[in-house]
A and B are shown apart, each in its own frame.
Chain A
Amino acid sequence: MTDAELSEAEKTFILHSVQDNFREDGRGNEDFRHMEVETGLISNTNGSARVRLANTDVLVGVKVQLTAVDPEKPEVGRLDFFIDCSANATPAFEGRGGEDLGSEISAMLTRAYSCPSAVDFHSLCVLPGQQCWLLYVDVLLLECGGNLFDAVSIAVKAALFNLKIPNVTMTKDEGGVELDLSDDPFDFKRLNVAGAPVVVTVNKIGHKHVVDASEKEEECTLARIILGVTEKGTITSMRKEGSGSLDSDSISEMMESARKVGMELNKILLKALEEEEKQGAKTVGFLR
């Protein structure tokens, strides 16, 4: 995934810095890098957000569509994730190069959002048993600088916060029910994202673990666990990634760190989003 090829000496340097809880960019092991979040950038979407986490740049657009309900779950709406790993980010994504990574991220998001408390899926149903909203959550990776899973999930949550679903009025006539979509751009409803998870990746480096690993640090890790953490600290999905194995005690420690960091991250994100909302849409500039 990365171009960064590290020598043994560089790897040892990173390993030692993690050991001392003082990473190469001066952070502690449980610190995130500087992050920028903007919402409502793309006018053709119903909700959009961009997150820049150090060098990782992610753009998310959510489009809503009316569709027939899933016969297995006739009274709820659906979410559909798609991650486009653009070759702009790294030449390795050219052609079908980014497909595996994209499907891995979308699988993780699908699982993290699959529990009923993540968003109010019932409110996404327009006509139970017939029509519901299908939210296409499309993620575009513009730049990779490590920790993609977390950045993508933050951007997705921000875009869902920004989402404006047009109101639908139903009129009953003899032929059945007729759906009318409101023309008024200010006639919409919002989605409650308080229960939505963010993904936290915890990387094992040496005997310690770090969150929000940079590209170089990712190169030094053999195993990481990826968790969806909600604001309440519950874990909505988890998986281990990488070719290494882990001790069960260290997994517990890593989970504890992820929970702590994830709860904090959720709180700060929601606060920042609400603040942006209050200030009104003033885009600080899209790509700088």
Chain B
Amino acid sequence: MPTDTRRLTGPESSQSPYNFAPCSKLDMRNLEVRPDGRSFKQLRPLFLRTDVVSQARGSSYIEMNDTKAICAVYGPREVLRREDFSLKGQLTCDFKFATFSCKQRRQHQQDSQEKDLSVQVLEALEPAVCLHKYPKSQINIFITVLQHDGCALSAAIMCASLALASAGIEMYDLVVASSAAICGSLTLVDPTAQEEETILKSTVKLDANAGSVTVAYLPSMSQVSALSSDGELSFEVLNKSMQECVANCQRLYPVLEQTLVKHQQELEASKS
């Protein structure tokens, strides 16, 4: 992979000091309380606001305790290349973890995980945007995760859908997303990075069911727009946790609605 020579990079082989730290993994079998004191079914508080990037058409910021992401939407603008002509508008999405956002330092270039997440965010938003209203044009979404503490995908989806709405892009519905981590009979709603990693990065089999699910949902149309699961789960467990995520999405929907209403009120106030 080509690297940017203008940047100062670290030594070719270096290791994170955390690799030598005593194990920070949770004991999933005997977990009674979650490390942050939440109950298993409790979501983290959700904070959202719009208009954080003044130059963008629309922008938003999301905070779920220590997961923080910012999103900017540019466009609709003309598609320059003729071969990309399409009567339906095009949506592009660029998902990036800030280099300092995770425990391990990230590269400034998009890695394969970030590319995968970009596609997933895009596919979660596409069903919600009235792309037929934007012929010959493209809308660009840029998401940067500033701090990662689990559920980056669902935070990114919510943040981006709010940014699109605040940009005045015509949409069928807002997109709400929610995740859950599963280990055996335990279902941890809205998992933190520590909980996610304990379950997904384990090299030994923790339980017959160990994994995580993320669902993006269009609440007023009751449609699932994105669905992603990792780890090994049985069909029944996966189905059940999917329903649970959908229910959580419905609980989060009013927060997004209110943020959007507030954005609109502020816009009206600044006009008059």
Contacts and interface: CB of A to CB of B under 8 A. Distances in A.
Interface string B184-211: 0000000000000000111111001111
Nearest to B125: A243
> In the complex, which range does the number of interface residues on chain A fall in?
35 or more
Contact of B205 (A111, A116, A259): A116
A73 B203 contact: yes
Contact of B228 (A236, A239, A247, A255): A239
B97 to A, nearest CB: 16
Contacts of B243: 248
A234 B200 CA distance: 16
Interface in A67-104: 71-73, 75-76, 103-104
A245 B223 contact: yes
Contact of B231 (A104, A110, A236, A243): A236
A239 B215 CA distance: 10
Contact of A237 (B119, B222, B229): B229
Given A236-B231, A247-B223, A251-B224, A76 B203 contact: yes
Contact of A104 (B119, B202, B204, B234): B119
A69 B119 CA distance: 30
B63 interface: no
B211 A115 contact: yes
A117 B223 contact: no
A103 B115 CA distance: 8
A74 B8 CA distance: 29
Given A107-B116, A234-B232, A255 B202 contact: no
Given A116-B202, A243-B126, A255-B238, A238 B116 contact: no
Nearest to A238: B229
Chain B contact residues, majority secondary structure: mixed
B223 A116 contact: no
B141 to A, nearest CB: 15
A247 B112 contact: no
Interface string B65-108: 00000000000000000000000000000000000000000000
A73 B229 CA distance: 22
Contacts of A223: 127
B120 interface: yes
A278 B204 CA distance: 32
B200 A235 contact: no
Contact of A240 (B19, B123, B211): B123
A107 B116 CA distance: 7
B242 interface: yes
A93 to B, nearest CB: 15
Nearest to B243: A248
Nearest to B214: A239
A243 B123 contact: yes
A247 B222 contact: yes
A178 to B, nearest CB: 22
A121 interface: yes
Interface of A: 71-73, 75-76, 103-104, 106-107, 110-111, 114-117, 121-122, 223, 225, 230, 233-248, 251-252, 255-256, 259
25 contacts: A71-B16, A72-B201, A76-B203, A104-B116, A107-B112, A107-B116, A115-B230, A115-B231, A225-B227, A234-B208, A235-B238, A236-B232, A237-B230, A239-B120, A240-B224, A240-B225, A240-B228, A242-B123, A243-B127, A245-B128, A245-B225, A247-B223, A248-B224, A248-B242, A259-B235
Interface of B: 15-16, 19, 112-113, 115-116, 119-120, 123, 126-128, 200-205, 208-211, 218, 221-235, 238-239, 242-243, 246
Q: List 3 tightest A-B contacts by C-beta distance, closest first.
A: A245-B127, A245-B223, A115-B232
